[in-house]
Amino acid sequence: MCGIVGYIGTGAVQNILLNGLKNLEYRGYDSAGLALNDNAGIKVYKASGKLNNLVDLLSHKNNTANTFKGIGHIRWATHGKPTVENAHPHLSNDEKIVLVHNGIIENYQELKDKLQAKGYTFHSKTDTETAVLLIEDEYKQTKNLEQAVINAVKQLKGAFAFCIMHQDEPDKIIAVRNHAPLILGQGHSGNFIASDIPALIGQASQSIYLDDRELAIVTQNNITIKTFEGAVKIKPMTLIDMKAESISRRGYPHFMLKEIMEQPDIMRNLLSSSLSAKDAPITFSGLDADKLFSHVTKLEIIACGTSLNAARVAKALFERLCRLPVEVTAASEYIYKTNLTDENTLCIGISQSGETADTITAVRQAKEAGAKVLVLTNRANSSIIRYADASLPLMAGIEISVAATKSYTAQLMVLYLLAVMLAEKSNKITPAYAETIKNTLLTLPALTEQVLDLSEQAKALAAKYKNATDFIYMARGINLATAAEGALKLKEISYINAVDYAAGELKHGPIALLDENMPVLAVLPKDSVVFSKVLSNCEEAKARRAPLIALTTESAVLPENIFDDIIRLPDAPELVTPMLCAPFLQLFAYETACALGREVDQPRNLAKSVTVE
């Protein structure tokens, strides 16, 4: 995904746009660019690599105080390498129209062929350049930017959010939204456009979200919203209640560490909003659970990445507590599977950003197949909500670091609460057992704080294993997903090839990988179910000379001389150990990435939310 910004007003345009891009950097950081409009016309500045390269470029330009509007872009490359030629903004051939884009234009090639046949010249490998040349072509007929944009976007297929300027229409910026988020902001000095609210914090006081197939004509003093059919839409502005503090590192060296440390308080917030005491019923504000779960005979949980690992924990929870069959599918695979969804299926879509294209597409398909849809998301106004019958907020606050951490345990907490609520309502668990689980959930924030106190042990472990090229995480049962999430965290920020396996599967092939250079981290909290089996798998691994790490709990008794390292988490019922293991594995991945000097908050090749399929 990319980030786009626009501003028109009396403020310092260049600084406002760069500040906006800085706050959107988590959306992509392959290249960046600005188009600035002053009395002399529109000038475009682009740089490949991080945003600072653009800042350096601009620091050498002669500052034109009379710049009155501009648009900007920060890129996660989809079409074309992250070169300057492919960086946005993109210009029309007559260099009078300039555009920035977030999303993907699916039919760009056929449109590009037609435009080339008409004599238009392309300078990049991007799908985006097709859009600006299509608008140029339409403008030749309409001599009006708004109409040219409407004519052009009606020909596009796919996801697109645009900011567009025309040199001959200096009083406006046109913003367009279709299946890619775009928010408008109103401030005392002028008006703003951005892909996400962090770009508006500290700048605008009120905001409006554009909906799909809408455009906005943004002038210094006014915002007019229309549909692609030209109908004017009247929408109320809402106050921006997010403070600058919510997107600051608050003294932490990285957003990731700040977000890891926020987890106990986020759990407290979720618990206090749904569970007042161990003998109280679980409730979710605004959720009619009886209606949502009525006649449900099957759950389908759809997600990607870390959210998919949360879905895998949820499968174990709902099957064990609610006796409900649960199917978990990676969203990118959902569209290929034989669809057995019906009106008795509840589809749960999990997405921190609410903008993951794969998950939105899959959830939309499940809804079209008759399922009721519940979404869990951290972003209230995100695209996925549009396809939901009900939604539950993660209440985790903005998550800036590309690696998901606090949103993961927030997803788990919501899923635990939901599963216990449903199990109680359907009398699948006794009131006494329900009270026991609720009491355990209420202790999780304090237990998590104890886990986070192990940061020095995580650091020592990272120092010892940071030069591993490969890593195996293994577990059984409900912690299979824990192993997967731990491996994903290590992979995505340290670039070490970490792979997760079911411990019982190791001897069916992967054990051939083991030697003194293949560290194995075993997730084996003390419990009555899988502990002894995982221990046997550890002995098998040790017999192959693999360095062995145990992620276990206080009271677990481990044989001597098997493990090279033992991390002991606080004791807790096996059911909630995924909640306790995750923060430690996040810390281990974080410290390993730091020890390797990685770009912890902005790992290479990644973006915070993948808004293309």
By CB under 6 A, name the binding residues for ligand AGP.
304-307, 351-353, 356, 359, 402-404, 492, 609-610
CB nearer to ligand AGP: give 487 or 610: 610
Cα separation of 415 and 11, whole Å?
A: 45
190 conformational bin, left if phi > 0, alpha if psi -120 to 50, beta if neither: left
C-alpha–C-alpha distance, residues 591 and 519, integer Å? 16
Which of 382/553 has CB closer to ligand AGP? Answer: 382
Q: Are 44 and 98 in contact (CB under 8 A)?
A: yes
Strand, helix or coil at 511? helix
Q: How far apart are CA 223 and CA 283, in angstroms?
A: 40
Report, in Å, the least distance between residue 233 CB and ligand AGP: 28
Tokens of 597: 């000097």
SS3 assignment, position 46 = strand
CA distance 403 to 260: 10
Helix (H, G, I), strand (E, B) or coil at 596: coil
- 93 contacts 121 by C-beta, under 8 angstroms: yes
CA 228 to chain centre: 28
Residue environment code for 117-131, b if the CB has 16+ CB neighbours within 10 A, otherwise e? eeebeeebebbbbbb
392 secondary structure, DSSP code: E
Q: Is 194 helix (H, G, I), strand (E, B) or coil?
A: strand
Cβ nearer to ligand AGP, comparing 7 with 590 = 590
The catalytic site residues sit at 2, 608
Q: Which is nearer to ligand AGP, 353 or 365 (CB)?
A: 353
By three-state DSSP, how is residue 232 classified?
A: strand
Cis peptide before 264 (omega within 30 of 0): no
Question: What is the per-residue DSSP string for 545-565?
Answer: T--EEEEEETT----TTS-SE
Give me the least distance between CB of 220 and ligand AGP, in Å please: 34
Which is nearer to ligand AGP, 128 or 359 (by Cβ)?
359
Residue number, 316 or 403, with CB nearest to ligand AGP:
403
CA gap 54, 243 in Å, rounded:
27
CB of 165 to ligand AGP, least distance (A): 30
Question: Measured between alpha carbons, how far apart are the two ends of the chain, in Å?
Answer: 10
User: What is the gyration radius of the CA atoms in the chain, in angstroms?
Assistant: 26
Q: Which residue is nearest to ligand AGP (CB)?
A: 305
Minimum distance, C-beta of residue 477 to ligand AGP, in the bound complex (Å): 22
Q: What is the DSSP letter of 378?
A: S
Residue 30: half-sphere exposure toward Cβ, Cα within 13 Å:
22
- Residues shown for the chain: 613
Residue with smaller CB distance to ligand AGP, 115 or 394? 394
Q: Ramachandran region of residue 286, left (φ > 0), alpha (ψ -120 to 50) or beta?
A: left
User: CA nearest 179: which of 104, 88, 92, 93?
Assistant: 104
Nearer to ligand AGP, 186 or 405 (CB): 405
The least CB distance from residue 307 to ligand AGP, in Å, is 4
Sheet of strand 497-502, all strands in order from the earlier edge strand to the far edge: 497-502, 470-475, 520-523, 548-553, 565-569
The tokens of 322 are what? 């609610």
Q: How far is the CB of 330 from ligand AGP (least distance, A)?
A: 10
Q: Of 302 and 429, which has the nearer Cβ to ligand AGP?
A: 302
